[in-house]
Structure 1
């Protein structure tokens, strides 16, 4: 079985990459027609926080569960805000954005669950 630290580092890496890719899509770098300035900034900030959380997890493993919970909690809050803006018609309104938010929520919840389980051991 994979240790919690390794599993959590992998999840944080995936989350960081997902948010960075979403930011690049909304910047128009990876695809055109999906530009959205506010989403680009929010996703970029969340990617940076998750990336810093990953770096901190790797350099301070004793604080790993707390660091991961804090970074992913921030990302979860931002993702819920994004999902809410989609629901009320303010944010990007593509099916891709809706599906992507669901994927983000699932991955974030898996990461939070992993950090929580590690914290309890």
Structure 2
């Protein structure tokens, strides 16, 4: 796996895992929300599978990163939509967190796509 992609996927996995723990009520920040906790845990696993694929099959690293981050971005946008319509968690922290996640994932997709062209 190319180093820049690995350096980006690892923190993304951590961000989603921590968000899941927060929404599960296991970390003292934010509010518990079981559906958000489940979605964030699934996204963390998807990103981890992309990371692991890149480690095991370096020739698939970029493709795995694009697929994993694309799915993570889709899930994050669904979460942002639920916040916008009032179904998801309604804290300011959740809103800011989703904006940051979208930015990080878009940057990660750009980085993976850019490295694909090399």
The alignment's TM-score, normalised by the length of structure 2, stands at 0.96
Give a deviation string over 1:3-61, Cα, whole Å, max 9, x none.
x8101001000100000000000000012661001000000000011011111111111
Contact 2:30 2:93 in 1 (8 A): no
Q: 2:13 aligns to what? A: 16
Q: 1:41 aligns to what? A: 38
Unaligned runs of 5+ in 2: none
Q: 2:94 aligns to what? A: 97
Unaligned runs of 5+ in 1: none
Count of aligned pairs: 118
1:120 aligns with 2:117: yes
1:61 aligns with 2:73: no
Q: 2:69 aligns to what? A: 72
User: Take 2:86 and 2:62, find their aligned partners in 1: how far apart are those partners?
Assistant: 35
User: Take 2:110 and 2:29, find their aligned partners in 1: how far apart are those partners?
Assistant: 35
Q: 1:109 aligns to what? A: 106
| Superposed CA RMSD | 1.2
Q: 2:78 aligns to what? A: 81
Give the direction of change, closer, same or farther, for the CA distance of 1:13–1:32 in structure 2 (3 Å limit): closer
